[in-house]
A = this chain, B = another copy of it.
Amino acid sequence: MSKTVIYEVEVMFSDCDPAGIVFFANFSKWMDASSLNFFVQCGIPPWRELVKTEGIIGTPLLEIHTKFSVSATYGERLQIHTSIEEWGRKTILQRHIIKRGDTLICNGTERRALCIKHPDDPDRFKAIEIPDWFKQRCT
């Protein structure tokens, strides 16, 4: 059984667009924050620490997929329910379900790679196999 960690955000006025509703890309932003919060709650240090000890710079996105059900607006509190749906050798599939209480707002997945700085070019990244200690903390 997978762990689920809930991250909460309060929608700000500036998160909303001229239609008066949350601009959809902010849901992706919050899923990303909830992804990182998931790792931190599982005992993974923040990337700025991990880059020093393990060379790991973070978990860049490979693919996202989200379905939007109901709009949300400022002043509302939303809960992002985050879990890991699938471990690949070098990738992690996270699911994020955003709710306002019992109401489903949107439902998405993110496929991520665990990356280090590329040994040949520090400006590029290189995916590595997910280490066992990483996987163990997250499950």
Contact = CB atoms under 8 A, between A and B. Distances in A.
Interface of A: 10, 12-14, 16-21, 23-26, 28-30, 32-33, 36, 40, 46-48, 57-58, 60-68, 71, 73-75, 123, 125
Contact of A24 (B26, B48, B64): B64
Q: How many copies does the complex hold?
A: 4
Contacts of A63: 65-68
A138 to B, nearest CB: 17
Contact of A29 (B14, B57, B60, B66): B14
A13 B18 CA distance: 7
19 contacts: A13-B36, A13-B58, A14-B17, A14-B33, A17-B17, A18-B20, A19-B57, A19-B58, A20-B48, A20-B123, A24-B60, A24-B64, A25-B29, A25-B32, A36-B74, A62-B68, A63-B67, A64-B66, A71-B125
A74 B12 contact: no
